[in-house]
Every structure is written in structure tokens, then in C-alpha cells.
Structure 1
Amino acid sequence: MTPTPRAAKRSGSRKTLTQANLEALGAEKLALLLLAAAEEDAHLKRRLRMNLAGEVGAEDLAGEVAKRMAALEARRARVSARGYKGFARDLDLQRAMIVGPLAGLDPGLALAHLCRFLAMGPAMLSLTRDPRGLVADVFAAAAQSAPALVKVARVEPATVARALGALVEGDRGGLYPDLLEQVAPGLEAAARKALRTELEQRWGEHRRMDRLRRAVRLLADLDADVDAYLATFTDAERSEPETGGTIARRLIAAGRLQEAEAALRSAAPKQGVGQGRAAWEDAQIALAEAQGRPDEAQELRWAAFERALRTAPLRDHLKRLSGFDDVEAEERAMASAKAHARFSDALAFLIAWPSIPDAAQLVLERAGEIDPARTELLEAAADLLEARHPIAASLLLRAMIVDTLRWRRTDRAQAAGDQIDRLENLAAQIADWNGVMTHEAFVEGISRLVAQRRPR
């Protein structure tokens, strides 16, 4: 007797956990299942209670959120490794309820609770090592919701100012570096004025708190209040090239050119000091333009390019040339770059410009100066060179391979293997090595190097 074939299992089984299948169970059965599950899962129980409160109204939901935040604020015990994920999940539930359902019901109430939640951030982080960044991510996500909520919430300016001022002052670990920068521009005039007053008052009480000083500076800058902006810098800071350049740019924008000139003079870079010099040079160029000295501004742009091979001043310089002068000037700039004292800076400039033929010529002529420690630069340059300049690309790859083998850099062993494979492919494209060591000779050399480095 021939056995009857079994019916094939349907792909859309009713046992699969899908929304449609769960809905088919019916509301009463689902409610019973959820109640049973909630008795064994505190997080689920909390989530259900908050959703039920949201159905009643904003005040009830806010009360549930506030109750849980109070419990978290009172916590002193550190979070164990086992409880870490659950702790982060609990925090994220509070965040989601505030910026989701509560914000939809009452934006003003949601903003107050969001500010309280953000204020908890430093304390919550102190309870855990946060090895995966889960807790920090929760508070970063909460901070990202603040600008939109501030715009729609109907809250007294003084209330917003106090809340934001407290957040800035309490942000001990720098958890919200960009919060004020994102929120302040969207504030209405009255709210921004109140915030600025609040921050200035707090800074006056805590003069050494640098985060309050930076916040006052940001608000002064947004209001184009140059004098208040200047007041946030010490005399020592004003003598630094970068700060001097930053201040001068604000003074130039305000039409206070003599003061800008004095600011630059007092912050002039010392011989051999490069830190912050770019900002100072840019302000110096802007001042020359503002004072009606375009020829001097052009000279300054060229000098800024030649000193540190900066692309921005060179591009600005070339834009202002007429006829074929820009072509000649660009050729002169590439020659200057190839002759630059620091090989790595020259290579970085030429691939950023980009001028690939000049980068290849630089590598071929100054191969002995390749710095194998600059792996990101060399790999990027090799990528750009390999199609049309395989010998130059090979020299860059060889430098990294030799460095890896010579110093037994195990962290770069895999990369070295990949680079050797790339050399094989490049060698197939090269008919004439033009005086450069052939691929076969290089492979023989590194084989000897490996043999020498083996323990006996």
C-alpha cells in the first residue's frame, strides 16, 4: 500500500509570533498573558503601567515617569555586570516615554521631565563603567530630542533658562557638549535673553567653572555682543594665536578694525610655534581685505600656503587671479609642495589637492623620506597612485611592509599580508622599474629579513 504523503507545512504558520497571529488571540487572552508575563518581568510591568497612565492623561503619565526617576536618582549602589543591560533598558524606557507619548500629550510637561532626566545623566554614568556605551547613548539620544521639544513647548522663558543653566552647570563629565549649541539658536528672543542672564549669573558665582564660561561665550557670540564675548577670555588667552585670531574675526565683523589689528598684534605667533597659527593667519588675511589691501591679502594667502601647505589659502589665492595667472601659480604651488621640508606634509597636500602626478614624482624622488608610521596617509596615497603610478604606489606599500616585519608589529601582520598581495598585482603592470628595485628583489629582501628576525 502506497503511503499517503504528508501535507507540507505552511510558511505562514499560525504559531509564528507576528502581529496578526497575536491579534487573533483576542484582547482578553492577550491581557491575561501580559499580566502573567509582567509578574515575572519588572521592566515589562513598568512599561505597561506607563502606557496605561498615558491613556488616562499627561499628568498621570508624568507622575509615573517622575516616580521612576525619583527611584533612580536615589540609587547609590553600583550596577553589576549582570544588571548593566537592564539598567540601560530601564533608562531608555523613561527617555522614550518622555519624548514620545508625554511630548505628544503635553510638550511643556515633557520638556520639564526631559531636563530632569538629562540632569540625572552624570550620576547614572557614575553607577556603571558603561563598557558598551549603552547608558551614554541613552542620554545622548535624549539630548538630541531637546531642540525640537524646546521649540514646541509653551514654557516661561525663565523656566527654560533655569533648567538649561542647571544642566550646563551640572554636566561634570561633559556628557552634553553640544546641547546648548543645538538648543540656543532656536530659542525665542525672550528665552535666549533669560538664558544668557541665567548663565552669566551662574558663571559669576562659579568663576572657575569653564563649562559655564564657554556657555556664556556661546550666547554672547549668538547675540553678536563682541564685548561680552571678549570678556570671557583672560589676558593670557588673548595672547595665544588661535584665540587672537578668533577674537579678531569677531571685531572685523563688527567693523572694529583697529581693535582687530591690535588683537592680532598682541597674539602674533612666536617663531617656530605652529599651534593655532592657521586661525591667526586667516584673521590677518580677513583684516587686510577689510582694510582695502587686496594685494597684501594675496601675499598673506601665499605665505600661509607655503608655511604649512594649507589648501584653503591657496584655493582662495588662485580664485582671485585672472587670465592664465592661476595656472602658472598652481604649477608654482605644486613645485613648492614637492620641495617642502616635511615629506609627509607634502604627500598629504598633494593627494588632498589632488595632484596625483606630482604626488607620484614626490614619492619617486624622495622615497628615502617615507615615514612608515603614517599608515593612513600612505594607504590613502597608494590607493590613488596604483592605477597610473604603480611604482610609486609600490614604494609606499613596501615602506609599510618593511616596518611591520622589522619591528614585528603583530597588529599590522594582516595588513602587511594584504599589502604584499597588492604588490604582486602592481608588479604585473610594471614592465620597466626604471632603476627602482624590482618586485622579485624586494620579496627576496624581506624573506631574508624574516629569516633574520626568527628566534634561533
Structure 2
Amino acid sequence: MAKTAKKAKLDRNGLTVLGLEKLIGIVLDEAGLNPSFKKRLNAALAGVGGGAAVGKLIDTRLAALEKSRTRIRWQKEKAFGNDLESISASIVKEFGAVDPAMALERLIRFVLGYEGIAERVNDSSGRIAGIYAQACDAAALLAAAAPAEQRVRIPSLLNSGLEGTDYYGFKTLLAVKIAPVLPPDILKAWDQTLAKVMTIPAGTTILPAVVHVRRAIAEACGDIGAHVAIEEALPATLQEPIILAEKLLAAGRHADALTWVRKPRKARVGFVRRVDLLSGALTAPPDRDKLEAAILDGLKDRPAAQALRWKAFEQRLDVAMLREYIDKAGDFEEFEALDKAFAFVDRHKDLLAALYFYLSWPRLDLAARYVLDHGGRWKNEFGDMLPQAAEALQDQYPAAATVLYRTLVDQIVGGGLLSAYGDAAAYFTTLSTLAARPGGNEGLMPHAAYVAALREKHGRRYGFWEKVPAELYRSQ
């Protein structure tokens, strides 16, 4: 039996099988159809002649990009994005292979031109911004590949973008990405320059971009003292005391960490930039209470740390903090602490918070008992809390799940929430299934009586009843 020929893949080996002449034909055909691809090919061909030739070609394209003020209509956004990708790829792959330092200079120029691009195109999809975010990552690779003697010029190429308003954030991102690959001596000299920009003239608004980059430099140098100096030089509205406290804890400077973690953070108005989303910069700050408790542990003040953990648990029914409290409890203390905690949850005024705690711990038995104890008080104020709780309980505790599903049906149908009738019908169907199980209605109104009452009260909610299988209510 003849063997089936193995299918070639679109990879290096597969393309090699095609042969040079076939590939040349395909490339030329694509170049004739795709202007961006053709420009990329021209850059590659220029690279054969050395850095000067490819640099000249890229400079021409960058100059044209910077000079143009034409608004890009939505019909041409895709082609425009392709052209931007082609420029970036030509700089990184073609020029970067020949002269990484000069390629980096062009890529910095490319990224610093984002503001002009943003004014010309409605980048609702975020594709254009994504191209520039990738260019920032590529810039770090070029900086790392640049000869050591040429890296000293890099900060000066970036400073012009940091000394003004960085509304879109790419100038800052570019510098923050490059900083970790530069040697300490260059970073320290760069920080000294930025420190002057940050502090003079007196009374001038401090530029957030400079602050972010100085923090990145301190991080790259592993200099906790520099971190402290930067924060101390800032007004309270720009300080990040919790983040600094976390760094001080990691450095073993517990007393200083305690001072900063207890420092109040001034409220300030802010906004989320697309670059922050693309770069992953929007990470949640450390939990203040958890961090302070860890610092107190480092100071060997166990009573204060435990008291803080218990207080945090009581304030927000924090499962993680109670777990930490139990983990740090002495022998035979944990059982007493758990009993005390569960008793506190039972008395809590927020029913949904208490139920969420029991489900998260998890103690489904206590959650089910809690649901039944408060049978007539449930309200689905947060949209998906009760459905999730009912689903979690229905396998082992059908009566408790029944209470929650009935609450949901009553609220949706009673409120005439047309858009949720489909959900209510699904809950109603589940109620019929639970009613057939042992204990499904234990201690509750029988299912038939519940259906009859619902029909009597809301029989005219035709939009709901038409979504329910007729056999589930006509036989009741």
C-alpha cells in the first residue's frame, strides 16, 4: 500500500521544499499586491548594501510619516497599520541585523512619533497602539544588542520625550523597557540627569514620565535607597507608599517598611491609558493590611500582626486574611479561632458577603444552613451572586439551592424583567428537578404549591410562561 505524502508545513523546512524559484515567484507576486510587503522587501534588499543604504531608506519612510498630516479614514486604517508594521519590522529585522545601535535610534524616533499618528487615526481596535507597544519591546532587544560603547547615547535619545507631556504613555513605556538592559554606570548618570529635571525649577509641576523612569532605573539597579530618595522627593499625591513598603520588606528593612505602609496615600484623579493596558502596567497594588501584617511578622511583633489580620477579616470578611491568621495561630488556637470567625460571619449584617465567605472558604454545609436560616431575606442585588451560590449548593444541598432559585424566579418574574425571562425559565426548570430529589423541598413550601402561587400571582407574565415547558406547570 502506497504511503500518503507528508504535507509540508508553513515553516522554514516547508518553504525550503518549495525551492528558490518558486519562492521568488510567490514573493514577487505578493510584492505586486501588497505595498507594505514591497517596502519591507526593499528594506531587506537595501540591507544587503550595508547599514547606510537601509538607514537611508528607513529615514525616508520615517520622514514621510512625520510630515504627513492627512487624516486616515476608516477604510484605509488596515493598510495604514500594515505600513506601520512594515516600518517597524524593517527597522528591527533588516536594520537591526546590520547595525543595532543605529536601528535603535530609528525605532526610538518611530515610537516618539506616536502622538502625531494618534491625531490622524481613530484606533478604536487598538491595533495601531499595539504596534507601538511591540516596538517598545523590540527597542529593549536592540539596546541589549548594541555595542557597549554606543549604549551611553541611548538616554539622551529618550530624554526629549520625557521632558514634556506624555499623554499617550509610549515615551515613558519606551524608556521603562530599555532601562533594565543598560549597565549600572549609564543608569546612574541617566538618573542624575532626570533628577534635575524632576526638581527644577521650583514650583514646576513634576512630570510623571520622569518619575516612572527614575523608578524603573532604581529597580534595574536594585537600589532600594534610590527608591526611597525618589519617593521622599515627591509630593504626597505622587508617592506610592504601599509599593515602596513592599520593596523595603523584600530588602529586609522592616522598620522603614512599616513607616511607609502606614503613610496615608493622598487621593488623586487619574485615568487609564491604552498603553497601560497593553504593557500590563495596571497591576493591583499590594493589600495594605496583608503587607503591614507581613512587616510586623518581620519585626517579630506577632500579637500586632495577628490583631491586624483579625481586624481585616472582620472589616470585609476577608477569606485570605483569616487563612493567614489561622496559619499563624499557635497550637490548638486554630479551632477556637475558626469557631469565633464563623460565629462572627453568622452575625454579619451583609447577607451576601457572609454567604460569599462560606462558599469561598469553602464550607458548603454552613452556606446551606445560612441560606435556610435567612430564607425570606435574599435579594439578588449583585446580579450573579445568587445564581453562582445556587449552582454550588444544588448537588449536595438541594433545599438551600431551591430557596435561592425561587428567589431569583420571584424577582425576575415579579419585576417583569423581560430580558431575564430566559434565565428565570431555566431556574424554574431546575426547581422542578430539585423537587424530585430526596430533601429537595425539605422544610419548604411544596413545589406544587409554589408553582400554583406563582401562577396565581404572575399568570399574566406570558413572556415568561411561554419559555417554560408546559408540562412543568400545567400538571401542578
Structure 2 length as normaliser, TM-score?
0.74
Are the aligned partners of 1:161 and 1:194 in contact in 2 as well (CA < 8 Å)?
no
Q: Are 2:161 and 1:160 equivalent residues in the alignment?
A: no
Q: Which residue of 1 aligns with 2:114?
A: 121
CA distance in 1, matches of 2:92, 2:423: 45
C-alpha distance in 2, partners of 1:399/1:101?
Answer: 65
Change (3 A) 1:91 1:412: farther
Residue 394 of structure 1 deviates from its aligned partner by 4.2
The answer to whether the 8 A contact 1:22-1:30 is kept is no
Does 1:351 pair with 2:347?
A: no
Aligned to 1:72: 65
Matches within 5 A, 1:55-454: 55-154=48-147, 156-168=150-162, 169=164, 171-175=166-170, 182-204=177-199, 207-220=205-218, 222-225=222-225, 226-235=227-236, 245-246=242-243, 267=264, 279-282=287-290, 284-406=292-414, 409=417, 412=420, 415-440=423-448, 448-449=457-458, 451-452=460-461
Give the whole-Å Cα distance in 2 for the aligned partners of 1:265 and 1:21.
64
Measured in 2, the distance between the counterparts of 1:116 and 1:450 equals 69
How far apart, in 2, do the equivalents of 1:293 and 1:91 lie? 57
In structure 2, C-alpha distance between the alignment counterparts of 1:450 and 1:203, rounded to whole Å? 70
Match for 1:172: what amino acid? Y
Q: Which amino acid aligns with 1:195?
A: W
Question: Do the aligned partners of 2:409 and 2:427 also contact (CA within 8 Å) in 1?
Answer: yes
Which is worse superposed, 360-369 or 62-71? 360-369
CA displacement at 1:409 relative to structure 2 = 5.0
Q: Report if aligned partners of 2:112, 2:171 keep a CA contact under 8 Å in 1.
A: no
Shift in Å, 1:93: 1.6
Please report how far the alpha carbon of residue 322 of structure 1 lies from its aligned counterpart in structure 2 after TM superposition: 3.0
Query: What secondary structure does 1:83 align onto?
Result: helix
Query: How far does the alpha carbon of each residue in 1:390-418 deviate from its partner, in whole angstroms, 9 at most, with x for none?
Result: 33344444544544445555665555555
SS of equivalent to 1:53:
helix
Change over 3 Å in CA distance of 1:292–1:44 after alignment to 2: closer
Partner amino acid for 2:69?
A: R
Q: For 1:386 and 1:437, how far apart are their aligned partners in 2? A: 17
Q: Aligned letter for 1:143?
A: C
Shift, 1:382, TM fit: 3.8
Higher relative contact order (CA 8 A, sep 6+): 2
Runs of 5+ in structure 2 lacking a partner?
A: 8-12, 267-283, 464-476
Separation of aligned partners in 2, 1:51 and 1:138: 20
Q: Which amino acid aligns with 1:335?
A: A
CA-CA distance at 1:83 after TM superposition: 0.1
Q: Which amino acid aligns with 2:208?
A: D
Please name the residue that 1:4 is paired with: none
| Corresponding residue SS for 1:231 | helix
In the superposition, relative to structure 1, how do residues 236 and 189 fare at CA in structure 2: closer, same or farther (>3 Å)?
closer
Report the number of matched residues.
430
Aligned CA distance change for structure 1 residues 290 and 162 (closer, same or farther; 3 Å): same
**Normalising by structure 1, what TM-score?**
0.76
Q: Identical aligned pairs, as a percentage?
A: 26
Q: Distance in 2 between matches of 1:245 and 1:223?
A: 17
Aligned equivalents of 2:333 and 2:63: distance in 1? 70
Per the alignment, residue 272 of structure 2 pairs with: none
Name the CA distance, whole Å, in 2 between partners of 1:424 and 1:163. 70
- Distance, in Å, in 2 between the alignment partners of 1:393 and 1:411 is 23
* CA displacement at 1:159 relative to structure 2: 2.3
Partners of 1:99 and 1:314 in 2: CA distance: 51
Deviations 1:315-334 (A, max 9, x none): 22222223332233233323
What amino acid is aligned across from residue 296 of structure 1 in structure 2?
A
Q: 1:73 to 1:253 in 2, by over 3 A?
A: same
- The alignment yields a C-alpha RMSD, in angstroms, of 4.1
